[in-house]
Amino acid sequence: MSAPLLTATGVHKNYGNTQALRGVDFAIEAGEIVAVTGPSGCGKSTLLHCLAGLLSVDAGEIRYRDQDIGLFSEAARSRLRRSDFGVLFQFGQLVPELTAAENVALPLLLSGSGRKGAREAALGWLDRFGVADLADKRPGAVSGGQQQRVAVARAMVTEPKVVFADEPTGALDQLNGEQVLGAMVRVAREQGTAVVLVTHEATIAAYADREISLRDGAVDPTGLGVAP
């Protein structure tokens, strides 16, 4: 069996006196889709942000391809998120002043790609998610479901090894949510992209290969919501 692509070992994260994560272990292999579930406030998003290098851990370590990303500089972690990692948030967080194509092209431009090549790649990814006709529209001119499809295209335009999706359907109705997630999972499987999917919805977690449950900042080994 190959080594996991990304691991967390004994991860602790505190916000002041509040323990958000307490000794969490996690692993994901290349091409695997893992759902992280649990009640609101259990530490799901904090774990995702630590795994993606958006937050530093207080104890334990996060390793990507057997490198401790906690030892990376902030600039190195930012480069990692522009190359090997893609991040997708609940509300998309598209830049409102940019068109859909410009939003999707942005990670490529930040990595040094030329404008023509970046736009061509962006148009291709918008087409894969069924929103190529919105390329020149700004976020405020399209629906929530369409915005999230654009956001997924932006998260995947660099063909990352891991996509971190934090409640990606939380702002959508059930139909739009399942359509967006279905499209993302299909493309992730085509690309061999690993996905860390944070959700509190059972119907969304069902798209994953497996599920881990958190409660009060710890992994629940039973999956029944009772942390050790």
* pTM, full prediction: 0.91
Flag whether 228 is in a domain.
Answer: no
Q: Which residues, other chains included, contact 159 with Cβ-Cβ below 8 Å and sequence gap of 6+?
A: 191, 193
Tens digits of residue pLDDT in 11-33: 999 999 999 999 999 999 999 99
Q: With bands split at pLDDT 50, 70 and 90, how would you rate the model's confidence at 102? A: very high
Q: How far apart are CA 226 and CA 168, in angstroms?
A: 25
DSSP codes joined into one string, 65-97: TTEEGGGS-HHHHHHHHHHTEEEE-TT----TT
Lookup result for tokens 């969304």: 204
Residue-number span of the structural domain to which 91 is assigned: 6-219
DSSP codes joined into one string, 117-178: HHHHHHHHHHHHTT-GGGTT--GGGS-HHHHHHHHHHHHHTT--SEEEEESTTTTS-HHHHH
Flag whether 225 is in a domain.
Answer: no
* CA-based nearest residue to 27, from 46, 10, 49, 45: 10
Torsion of CA 125, 130, 131, 135, to 10 degrees: 40
Number of structural domains found in the chain: 1
Cα 157 to the center of its chain, rounded Å: 13
Tens digits of residue pLDDT in 213-223: 999 999 987 66
User: What's the burial of 174, exposed, middle or buried (CB within 10 Å: 0-12/13-18/19+)?
Assistant: exposed
Tens digits of residue pLDDT in 1-13: 578 999 999 999 9
pLDDT for the residue numbered 92: 66
Flag whether 227 is in a domain.
Answer: no
pLDDT at 52 over 50: yes
Q: In b/e form, how buried is each residue of 115-137, taking b as 16+ CB within 10 angstroms?
A: eeebbebbbebbebbebbebbee
* CA-based nearest residue to 84, from 178, 160, 193, 180: 160
Flag whether 224 is in a domain.
Answer: no
Extract the tokens encoding 204.
Answer: 């969304």
Flag whether 23 is in a domain.
Answer: yes
Flag whether 91 is in a domain.
Answer: yes
Tens digits of residue pLDDT in 125-182: 999 999 999 999 999 999 988 999 999 999 999 999 999 999 988 888 888 888 888 9
Lookup result for tokens 């929103």: 131
Q: Which of 93 and 120 is assigned the larger pLDDT?
A: 120
pLDDT at 50 over 80: yes
pLDDT for the residue numbered 223: 61
Flag whether 1 is in a domain.
Answer: no
Q: Three-state SS for 15?
A: strand
Give percent above pLDDT 90 in the chain. Answer: 76
pLDDT for the residue numbered 124: 96
Q: Three-state SS for 183?
A: helix
pLDDT for the residue numbered 228: 40
CATH number of the domain bearing residue 127: 3.40.50.300
Give the H or E element holding residue 116: helix 115-128
Tens digits of residue pLDDT in 190-210: 999 999 999 988 889 999 999
